Amino acid sequence: MCGIAGYVGPRNAVDVVFDQLKRLEYRGYDSAGLAYVDEGRLHVLKKAGKLTGLGSLLAESKPSAHTAIAHSRWATHGGPTDLNAHPHHDQDAQISVIHNGIIENYLELKSDLVSRGHTFHSETDTEVAAHVIGEEYRDGVELVEAVRRAVAKLRGAFAFVVVSSAEPGTIVCARNASPLIVGFGEGESMVASDIPALLPYTRRVAILENDMVAKVTVDAIKFYSLEGKPIEPKPFDVDWDAVAAEKGGFEHFMIKEVHEQPEVVHQCLAGRVEGDHVKLDGLFSDHVWHEIDRINIIACGTAYHAGLMGKWMFERMLQLPVDVFYSSEFRYGEPLLSPRSLAIFVSQSGETADSLAALRLCKARRIRTLGVVNVVGSSIARDCDRVLYTQAGPEISVASTKAYTAQVLVLLLLVLHIAQVREMPGVRVPEIVQDLRGFAESMRQSLDLEPQVKALAERFKDSKMVFFLGRNADAHVALEAALKLKEIAYIPTQECPAGELKHGPLALVEPGVLAVFGATDPDTQDKLLSNMKEVQARGGTVVAVTTNEASAWADEMDTVLRVASCETKALAALSTIVPLQLLAYHLANLRGCEIDQPRNLAKSVTVE
Ligand code: F6R
Task: Note the CATH number of domain 247-437.
Answer: 3.40.50.10490
Average pLDDT, integer, range 529-553: 88
Q: Which mutation among 300, 387, 603 tests ligand 1's pocket best, with the greatest number of atoms within 8 A of CB?
A: 300
Q: How confident is the model at residue 74 (pLDDT cuts 50, 70, 90)?
A: confident
pLDDT at 1 over 70: no
The mean of the pLDDT values for the chain is 93
Write out pLDDT tens, residues 245-278.
678 889 999 999 999 999 999 989 988 999 999 9
Q: Which of 71-85, 293-307, 524-538, 549-563 has the lowest mean pLDDT?
A: 549-563
- Does 105 sit in the ligand 1 pocket, CB within 6 Å? no
**What pLDDT score was predicted for residue 57?**
94
Tell how far the Cα of 604 is from the centroid of ligand 1, in angstroms: 7
**How many CB atoms neighbour CB 85 within 10 A?**
31
Query: How large is the average pLDDT for residues 510-520?
Result: 94
Q: Is 401 close to ligand 1, i.e. is its CB under 6 Å away?
A: no
pLDDT in tens, 330-374: 988 889 999 999 999 999 999 898 999 999 999 999 999 999 999
The rounded distance, in Å, linking the Cα atoms of 172 and 20 is 18
Q: At what angle do helices 577-590 and 450-459 cross, to 10 degrees?
A: 40
Domain ranges for the chain: 3-244, 247-437, 448-595
Q: Is 307 in the pocket of ligand 1 (CB under 6 A)?
A: no
* Interatomic CA distance for residues 529 and 535, integer angstroms: 10
608 pLDDT exceeds 70?
Answer: no
The two domains 3-244 and 448-595 share their CATH topology (first three levels equal): no
Report the nearest atom of ligand 1 relative to the CA of 348: 14
The reported pLDDT for the residue numbered 264 is 93
Kindly state if the Cβ of 605 falls inside 6 Å of ligand 1: yes
Residue 524 Cβ < 6 Å to ligand 1 = no
Burial class (CB in 10 A: 0-12, 13-18, 19+), 270: buried
**Spatial CA neighbour of 305 closest among 333, 346, 342, 361:** 346
pLDDT for 176: 85
Q: Which residues are catalytic?
A: 2, 603
Q: Reply yes or no on whether the pLDDT at 322 is more than 90.
A: yes
Probe residue for ligand 1, chosen from 258, 349, 487, 606 as the CB with the greatest number of ligand atoms within 8 Å: 349
Q: What pLDDT, on a 0 to 100 scale, did the predictor assign at position 382?
A: 86
CA 260 – CA 249 distance, rounded (Å): 13
Q: Rounded CA gap, 255 and 251, in Å?
A: 7
Which whole-number Å values give the CA distances from 189 to 162, 183, 487, in the listed order? 14, 6, 43
- Is the model's pLDDT at 552 over the cut of 70? no
Amino acid at 349: S
Q: Is residue 104 pLDDT above 90, yes or no?
A: no
Residue 400 Cβ < 6 Å to ligand 1: yes
User: By alpha-carbon position, which residue is closest to atom 6 of ligand 1?
Assistant: 300
The pLDDT value given to residue 607: 62
pLDDT at 331 (0 to 100): 85
Q: Is the pLDDT of residue 417 over 90?
A: yes
Inter-CA distances, 570 with 56, 294, 307, 316, 408, Å: 49, 21, 12, 11, 9
Ligand 1 atom with the smallest distance to the CA of 604 is: 15
* Ligand 1 pocket, mutate which of 383, 396, 605 (most atoms under 8 A from CB): 605
Q: Which amino acid is at 48?
A: A
Q: pLDDT tier at 128 (50, 70, 90 boundaries)?
A: very high
Helix 51-61 vs helix 13-23: crossing angle, to nearest 10: 170
Residue 201 is given by DSSP the state T
Rounded mean pLDDT of 196-212?
A: 90
pLDDT on residue 604: 67
Per the model's pLDDT, the better-predicted residue between 194 and 326 turns out to be 326
- Higher-scoring residue by pLDDT: 199, 111: 111
Going from the Cα of 515 to the center of ligand 1, the distance in angstroms, rounded, reads 25
Say what the pLDDT of residue 257 is: 95
* pLDDT above 80: residue 558: yes
Ligand 1 near 302 CB (within 6 A): yes
Q: What is the pLDDT of residues 498-507, one digit of tens each?
A: 999 999 999 9
Assign domain 448-595 to its CATH architecture. Answer: 3-Layer(aba) Sandwich (3.40)
CA 237, CA 118: separation in Å to the nearest integer? 44
Ligand 1 atom nearest to CA at 401: 7
- Nearest atom in ligand 1 to the alpha carbon of residue 398 is 8
Is 72's C-beta closer than 6 angstroms to any atom of ligand 1? no
Residue 423 has pLDDT above 80, yes or no: yes
- pLDDT for 28 equals 66
Give the pLDDT score at 525: 87
Q: What's the 305 CA to ligand 1 centre distance in angstroms?
A: 10
Of the candidates 447, 212, 163, 406, the one whose C-alpha atom is nearest the C-alpha of residue 306 is 406
pLDDT of residue 351: 86
**pLDDT-based confidence at residue 481 (cuts at 50, 70, 90):** very high
Q: Which atom of ligand 1 is nearest to the CA of 403?
A: 14
- 485 C-beta closer than 6 A to ligand 1: no
In this structure, which topology does domain 3-244 adopt according to CATH? Glutamine Phosphoribosylpyrophosphate, subunit 1, domain 1 (3.60.20)
Quick one: average pLDDT of 276-296?
95
Q: Is 300 in the pocket of ligand 1 (CB under 6 A)?
A: yes
* pLDDT given for residue 219 in this prediction: 93
Please tell me the distance between residue 96's alpha carbon and the centre of ligand 1 in angstroms. 38
> What number does the ligand 1 atom closest to the CA of 399 have?
7
pLDDT band for 282, please (50, 70, 90 cuts).
confident
Q: Please, how many CA atoms are within 13 Å of residue 24, restricted to the half-sphere of its CB?
A: 30
